Amino acid sequence: MTPLGNTDRETRFAELTYRWRWPLTLALLAFVALVFASGVSRVGTFTAGLTGLHDPSNGSGNAPPMMFDPSMDIWFGESDPAVETYYEIEDRFVAEDFVMVTFQETEDPLGVFGRGSLETISRLTERFLTVGGVRHVRSLTSNPWIRWGAIADGDATEDGLIISDLVVGDVGALSDDDLVERMIAVLGAERSAQRIGEDRVRQVLGPGAKFDDHIGEPRLLGTIVSENGDTTAIQVQVLRPRLSEAQLEASFGDDERARQAGPTLHSVMVQRSSVRGLEHFLRVEKGLSITTPEFTTLVAEADALPDGPEKRARRLELFDPTRSMIRDDDAAAVRKWFEYSPVGGGGFVDRTDPMDVVDAPAGFAPQAISPYEFKLGGVPFFERNFEEVGLGDAKYVPIMFLVLLLGLAIVFRSFAGIAAPLGVVFGSIMAMIGLTFTNGNLLNNLTMMSPNMLTAVGIADAIHLVAAWVYLRREIDDKRELIIEVIRRNALPVSLTSLTTAIGFYSLTVSGLEPVQMLGSMAGLGTIFAFLLSMTFVPALLSLVPHHKRATAKSGGVELFTKERSARLVRAIVAYRKPILAAAGVVFLVSAYGLSQIEIDSDFRRMFPDDNKTMSDFHWIEERMGGVGDLEIVFTGIGADDEDVAFTTKDSEQLEALRMRELGAGRYPEDFDPLAPGDVETLTQLADRESRWNASRIGVSTEFLTALDAFEARLREEMSDPANPMSAVSDLLSPLDILRKIHQVQHENAAAFYRVPVEGDVPADVRPARLSYDEFIEEWSYTPPQTSAQLMAQYYLQYENGARPGENLSTQLSASRTHFRMQGRVRQASSAIHRAAFERIEEIARTEFPVLGASLGQPAADEAVAAVTVSGKSVLFARTTHLFATGFVKSMLLALGLITLVIGLIFRSLRLALVSLIPNVLPIIVPISFFGLFDVALDGPAILVSSVALGVCVDDTVHLFTKFVRAHQSGATAEAALAAAVHRVGGALSLTTVLLVIGFGTLLLSDFAPNFQMGALATVMIALAWFADFVLTTATLSYWKPVAATHNP
């Protein structure tokens, strides 16, 4: 006896289910309602906690519930050194992203050094600093201009070292020569001469000036201003604010999940507000922000308040650029300004309130205050674009449901036939979302797909029951019997397909990416609910439909697979089974080849439509100013993180006291006791520890910095070769730039000293240690031997003493000088190019600069003084794509293995299990292999749809197998058993297939390439699954011998 043959047990189960259908259904629905309500409530609490920290509503006060986590951090793989480095940068240096606001000046001969352009830069710099969340603004007018020159601060003018902004005070006060002087200071004499002519440059520098002495400012070239001087960037450092323990406690109490999700969501929200503030000021520049009459009234009211903090606070609130709405005295939301945006045909609309987009008044013509077209770049814009375009697809969900509803209506022509599948779909989605929220998780870009996936599953489950009901209505008189038979026939296949589908989804949890894991467990859970609802709610609902056999005999749907048609189809397939299977074999081999050629790759440029503003801005900037993505190359001194290398201030003081005595005892015996043997030993030990500590302090190591200087030059060499993947990297900044500059300026601007200081730069007479007596403290003082390391440490101090806090070295060099950060920018490219570039950086360090290139956590070569890690969001995104690919292969193999095992166990047949592989695997690999065969890169997220398709394939296979085995065991020939099976399930399977193809087909409308690819893959896979089962499975099973010979004991 096989389990399939145990009709008694199935009947008993069906009868039991029927008797308890209402209590079970109501209990289940109550549970679904409960978890949904609890989920909604938890999201509500979470939202309240978050909005208490920051109002994300643009001032209107109407914050939507926070159900969605748009942060990109969730995409970073676990236990990846690049990810650890990324978070370490936040801890050690600063948590922020840069935004670039760029424009081009083509009219003025001085380019962006012209008055008009500098005025715009200066105005925007000042305004951007008033935007909440902006830590610092670097621009042509605001950056440390380090130079040697006359200082007239006090009583007498004296030459000295000056650190000031390039433009101090009013741009209008600068003479033409002042402007040219600044141009030369930044671009250098040679580049300036190319722009304005040699004579003009000499007028400012003097006739005898050597152009080689004026090398310009490497820290700004290619970063803040293009080398030809016609394009400039205002670089805004936008914080990702962190929450203190007190804020976490106040907002989220001891809710652990909220404490995890809250801070990232908060930082994204605040960053979005900051970006809105920046955009506001750009709209002001373009004359596209017009204050409303209501706002003017509110300002007048504020101005009428007595001077004092209340008035200032109100004015700050009123003019807060990050909010375009405000609450008035009656707490009503009032628009502060119209935010006009151009639309096609020359018109403008106001987008202040996304709920209420209105046209600009007729004849509106913006009065721009600067003539420039601003282009925006940086990770925050990229992240926002990703979310906006991705979420834009939500509008296709209603279309999908409408299509499904129409399909069901046409086929079943019955309310119950529509309500049962949709009820299962909605119920299971509610349960899934409810449980997700109840557990404190939020939706993200990927798990947003889970409702679509679950729709496929739910429809498939329910349709089998409804189809059986429609079919059996004509044959069974009694309603109770009818429903019991519907349950009996479907109990096993529906449980089995639910199990295999759940396995397919849960297999995603082996991925290294958290969103994929979440998608797997959510969809898996949803599948279980879809099964439970199908077995309780559907029969209960169907049992409500009045039943008269005669009345229904002629209605209730189209029967596509009549007995005769089914038999004919099977006969035809059997006749051609050899060529069919041979062809399938060929297809399999070609696909396998295609799979081997496949390249999983993400290229953000490809993901968006051509007219996407963010991407076209990025492109514009990258053509003129280099990349808009971030790159971090972080060096850590060997031993810097070891406990036993630590050298405390106390140790240092003790060592110094001993050294002073050692030195003093020889020269001033009356003041110093000679060292005792124990002291000598202590001194030796301390000196040894000090030298190990110093070895880890790479930021002041001549060996490290000299090597880094050469390393930087090597990187630049490869970056300048367009054929090298490294050309995706532009612009390398590090404290080296400061060091070289201070050294140059300490030598009165001589260009030859723009280099890393070496031992020879330390005067001979300060190299030995010295003693001096401090008359005022009345103590001896010891000055240690001066070396190039001391010189560099002192240069840093000199710089930090003059620069603004925003330009502080602490964002690039740890205070202990053990961690050193080099920042680059990355152009948009495919993730494969990015990965190649990032690996190349590490490779150059490892192979050509062993001093720099140890790997973190690995034993270092003897000569290594530092370990290198490459990180940054661009790096992490590139790795995410890679993780998608490896995780996907693991998940699919696991799922297929488990599913095949389950099929083998249930049907007690190894052969059937093996045969099931054909219809389960082919539909998946054929479409994927096309990407390899035609050399089209496949986006990571798109392949996840294979998990749904696998569920559908297995679903088809199991239903067919069940009916086939039953018929076959009852003694039919293989061909007859197949015909019976096709007749029984053909209609339901075909209907599911059509509905799902149409449902997923709506994704083909998407502007977002990954979603489009997903739609294309899903529709083809699901259609192929139908074909594989009806044709290939049938062809294979037709070889089955009669039951007696094949029966497995």
Partner 1 sequence: MNTNRTSIAAFALVGVAALGIAADSENTSGVAVPETPAFDVADADAAGKVIATHADLYDRGWRDEVTRGRMTLYDAGGDSVERTFSRMAYERADDGDKLIIRFLSPAEIKGVAALTFENPGSSDDNWLYLPANKRVRRVSGANNTASFQGTEFTYEDLGALDPVEYEWRFLGKTTLTRGEESIEVYKLGATPTYSDTGYSRLEVLYSVDGFRQERIDYYDKAGKHLKTRDSRDWKQLHGRFWRAFTIDMTNHQTGKRTLLAQERYFLNLSLYTSKKTGKPRSNLPETMFTTQALQK
> Taking CB under 8 A as the criterion, which residues in 63-102 touch partner 1?
88, 90-95
* CA dist., res. 479 & res. 543, Å (int): 7
- Cβ proximity to partner 1: between 720 and 810 the closer is 810
Angle at 903 between CA 897 and CA 908, to 5 degrees: 120
Total site size for partner 1, rule CB under 8 A: 83
Q: Is 663 in the site for partner 1 (CB under 8 A)?
A: no
Q: Are 193 and 201 within 8 A, CB to CB?
A: yes
Supply the DSSP string of 879-905, one letter for each residue: HHHHHHHHHHHHHHHHHHHHHHHHHHH
Instruction: Dig out the tokens for 316 from the structure.
Output: 């700050």
Which one among 56, 59, 70, 144 touches partner 1, defined by CB under 8 A? 144
Question: Closest approach of Cβ 332 to partner 1, in Å?
Answer: 23
Amino acid letter for position 561: F
Which one among 621, 791, 950, 996 touches partner 1, defined by CB under 8 A? 791
Q: Is 684 in the site for partner 1 (CB under 8 A)?
A: no
Q: Is 131 in the site for partner 1 (CB under 8 A)?
A: yes
* CA dist., res. 809 & res. 821, Å (int): 10
Amino acid letter for position 36: F
* Residue 1032 Cα distances to 565, 572, 961, angstroms: 18, 12, 13
- Characterize the bridge pairing of strands 144-151 and 158-165: antiparallel
Question: Closest approach of Cβ 837 to partner 1, in Å?
Answer: 29
Which one among 29, 112, 140, 163 touches partner 1, defined by CB under 8 A? 163
Which one among 5, 160, 361, 398 touches partner 1, defined by CB under 8 A? 160
Q: Is 768 in the site for partner 1 (CB under 8 A)?
A: no
**Which one of 184-192, 794-802, 833-841, 929-937 is the stretch in contact with partner 1 (CB under 8 A)?**
794-802
Which one among 535, 700, 921, 954 touches partner 1, defined by CB under 8 A? 700
Angle at 908 between CA 903 and CA 909, to 5 degrees: 80
- Cβ proximity to partner 1: between 93 and 340 the closer is 93
Q: Is 706 in the site for partner 1 (CB under 8 A)?
A: no
* CA dist., res. 298 & res. 1038, Å (int): 83
Sequence-ordered strand ranges (E) for 565-681: 629-637
* CA dist., res. 911 & res. 904, Å (int): 8
Q: Is 116 in the site for partner 1 (CB under 8 A)?
A: no
- Cβ proximity to partner 1: between 307 and 611 the closer is 307
| CA nearest neighbour of 497 among 985, 1028, 910, 893 | 985
Helix, strand or coil, per DSSP, at residue 240: coil
Q: Is 151 in the site for partner 1 (CB under 8 A)?
A: yes
Write down how long the chain is. Answer: 1049
Q: Is 765 in the site for partner 1 (CB under 8 A)?
A: yes
Please state whether 872 falls in left (phi above 0), alpha (psi between -120 and 50) or beta.
left
Instruction: Dig out the tokens for 788 from the structure.
Output: 């190039």
Which one among 264, 292, 654, 808 touches partner 1, defined by CB under 8 A? 808
* CA dist., res. 718 & res. 540, Å (int): 70
Question: Closest approach of Cβ 1007 to partner 1, in Å?
Answer: 35
Which one among 23, 347, 805, 971 touches partner 1, defined by CB under 8 A? 805
Q: Is 759 in the site for partner 1 (CB under 8 A)?
A: no
- Cβ proximity to partner 1: between 109 and 785 the closer is 785
- What are phi and psi for residue 813, nearest 5 degrees? -140, 125
Site for partner 1 in 877-896 (CB under 8 A): none
Please state whether 151 falls in left (phi above 0), alpha (psi between -120 and 50) or beta.
beta
Q: Using the structure block, give the residue that is written with the tokens 């991705």.
A: 390
Question: Closest approach of Cβ 154 to partner 1, in Å?
Answer: 4
Instruction: Dig out the tokens for 269 from the structure.
Output: 């929200």
Site for partner 1 in 973-1002 (CB under 8 A): none
Q: Is 590 in the site for partner 1 (CB under 8 A)?
A: no
Site for partner 1 in 297-336 (CB under 8 A): 307-309, 312-313, 316, 320
- Cβ proximity to partner 1: between 263 and 504 the closer is 263
Q: Is 393 in the site for partner 1 (CB under 8 A)?
A: no
Q: Is 804 in the site for partner 1 (CB under 8 A)?
A: yes
Q: Is 164 in the site for partner 1 (CB under 8 A)?
A: yes
* CA dist., res. 450 & res. 436, Å (int): 11
Which one among 385, 527, 566, 786 touches partner 1, defined by CB under 8 A? 786
Tell me which DSSP letter residue 361 carries: P
Kindly report each contact of residues 251-254 with a partner whose C-beta sits within 8 Å and lies 24 or more positions away, as own/partner.
Answer: 251/49, 251/50, 251/52, 251/53, 252/46, 252/49
Angle at 395 between CA 71 and CA 456, to 5 degrees: 90
Question: Closest approach of Cβ 93 to partner 1, in Å?
Answer: 7
Question: Closest approach of Cβ 442 to partner 1, in Å?
Answer: 25
**Which one of 553-561, 792-800, 923-931, 970-978 is the stretch in contact with partner 1 (CB under 8 A)?**
792-800
Q: Is 153 in the site for partner 1 (CB under 8 A)?
A: yes
Question: Closest approach of Cβ 751 to partner 1, in Å?
Answer: 18
- Cβ proximity to partner 1: between 88 and 731 the closer is 88
Instruction: Dig out the tokens for 964 from the structure.
Output: 């086939």
Question: Closest approach of Cβ 694 to partner 1, in Å?
Answer: 9
Helix, strand or coil, per DSSP, at residue 589: helix
Which one among 8, 155, 329, 644 touches partner 1, defined by CB under 8 A? 155
Q: Is 341 in the site for partner 1 (CB under 8 A)?
A: no
* CA dist., res. 830 & res. 1007, Å (int): 19
- Characterize the bridge pairing of strands 134-138 and 96-104: unpaired
- Cβ proximity to partner 1: between 31 and 780 the closer is 780
Question: Closest approach of Cβ 900 to partner 1, in Å?
Answer: 49
* CA dist., res. 814 & res. 804, Å (int): 17
Which one among 106, 801, 847, 858 touches partner 1, defined by CB under 8 A? 801
Q: Is 132 in the site for partner 1 (CB under 8 A)?
A: yes
Instruction: Dig out the tokens for 72 from the structure.
Output: 């990109």
Q: Is 239 in the site for partner 1 (CB under 8 A)?
A: yes
Amino acid letter for position 496: L
Cβ contacts of residue 914 below 8 Å, gap of 6+? 900
Q: Is 646 in the site for partner 1 (CB under 8 A)?
A: no
Tell me which DSSP letter residue 675 carries: P
**Which one of 22-30, 511-519, 798-806, 878-886 is the stretch in contact with partner 1 (CB under 8 A)?**
798-806
Q: Is 656 in the site for partner 1 (CB under 8 A)?
A: yes
Taken in order 987, 988, 989, 991, the sign of the CA dihedral is: positive
- Cβ proximity to partner 1: between 450 and 701 the closer is 701
Q: Is 397 in the site for partner 1 (CB under 8 A)?
A: no
- Cβ proximity to partner 1: between 11 and 790 the closer is 790
The β-bridge partners of 291 are 337
- Cβ proximity to partner 1: between 33 and 771 the closer is 771
- Cβ proximity to partner 1: between 306 and 859 the closer is 306
Which one among 428, 500, 636, 814 touches partner 1, defined by CB under 8 A? 814
Which one among 510, 581, 665, 803 touches partner 1, defined by CB under 8 A? 803
Which one among 761, 842, 848, 1007 touches partner 1, defined by CB under 8 A? 761
* CA dist., res. 808 & res. 790, Å (int): 19
Question: Closest approach of Cβ 288 to partner 1, in Å?
Answer: 22
Instruction: Dig out the tokens for 871 from the structure.
Output: 């990180």
Which one among 763, 862, 934, 1044 touches partner 1, defined by CB under 8 A? 763
Q: Is 671 in the site for partner 1 (CB under 8 A)?
A: no
Angle at 858 between CA 852 and CA 863, to 5 degrees: 40
Question: Closest approach of Cβ 308 to partner 1, in Å?
Answer: 5
Q: Is 38 in the site for partner 1 (CB under 8 A)?
A: no
